[in-house]
Amino acid sequence: MIVLGLGSNISNTVHTREENIATAIRLLGNHPRISIEKVSFLYETEPVGLKEQPSFLNAVIAINTDLPPLELLTICLATERQMGRVREVRWGPRNIDIDLLVYHDVEMTTTVLELPHPRMPERKFVLIPLAEIAGHIAVYKGKTAQELLLSTIDDSQVNVYGAINPSGQAATLE
Ligand SMILES: Nc1ncnc2c1ncn2[C@@H]1O[C@H](COP(=O)(O)OP(=O)(O)OP(=O)(O)O)[C@@H](O)[C@H]1O
Ligand SMILES: Nc1nc2c(c(=O)[nH]1)N=C(CO)CN2
């Protein structure tokens, strides 16, 4: 299974947080070598790490692709750029964040890409949507998202916010 994490905590009058997530899904799904297989609910989540920032909307998606991990990362970063993301504070506010969480059973640590995503076990905003779409699949050191949830130290709030239109119809890129 290949899983991406999506997050947004900046909205404006043109693009709401949910539109930002839907737009990212639509752009990724438009790639000729990527198909979107599953989309979790949207969750409203308390900021983790840097707490003094607006709450996030988070979701995860399962995709199918023959792109190798580094090429997939490049596409995720290009999609963020296409959506006008400006990198400022680490762990700070962003209109869109696309993380590569799981790429089958690949384990790698390079300066540009770590798999599986190393901070997954301490992020309920990832584990809860992951448990929803892939609860019984080993995602991190042989553990499922459900198992990781039982031992996570993260006690932040994560609440269902709504469903995403998987085709991203409601969202437009101006
Ligand atoms: N699994 C991964 N998915 C996405 N980016 C990764 C991954 N592993 C390493 N990176 C690197 O992290 C860099 C910074 O990513 P980003 O600015 O989105 O971090 P962040 O979202 O602030 O923090 P975090 O990595 O804790 O989610 C990317 O340019 C990428 O090279
Ligand atoms: N709730 C929540 N907190 C975060 C998030 C996020 O997506 N959701 N992303 C971060 C940087 O990757 C830091 N903190």
Domain count, the chain: 1
> Which residue has the CA at smallest separation from atom 6 of ligand 1?
113
Pocket of ligand 1, beta carbon within 6 A: 73, 77, 87, 90-91, 97, 99-100, 112-115, 117, 119
Cα 74 to middle of ligand 2, angstroms = 20
Would residue 168 count as lying in a domain? no
Q: For the complex shown, is ipTM > 0.90?
A: yes
Cα 99 to middle of ligand 2, angstroms = 10
Would residue 173 count as lying in a domain? no
Residue 26 has pLDDT above 90, yes or no: yes
Residue 149 C-alpha from the chain's centroid: 17
Residue 172 has pLDDT above 60, yes or no: no
Contact 155, 51 (CB under 8 A): no
Q: Is the pTM of this model over 0.80?
A: yes
Q: How confident is the model at residue 166, as a pLDDT?
A: 62
Would residue 170 count as lying in a domain? no
Would residue 108 count as lying in a domain? yes
- Alpha carbon distance 116, 60 (integer Å): 14
The domain in which residue 48 lies consists of 2-162
* 92-120 pLDDT tens trace: 888 999 999 999 999 999 999 999 999 99
| Position in ligand 1 atom list of the atom nearest CA 116 | 1
Would residue 167 count as lying in a domain? no
What CATH number is given to the structural domain containing 126? 3.30.70.560
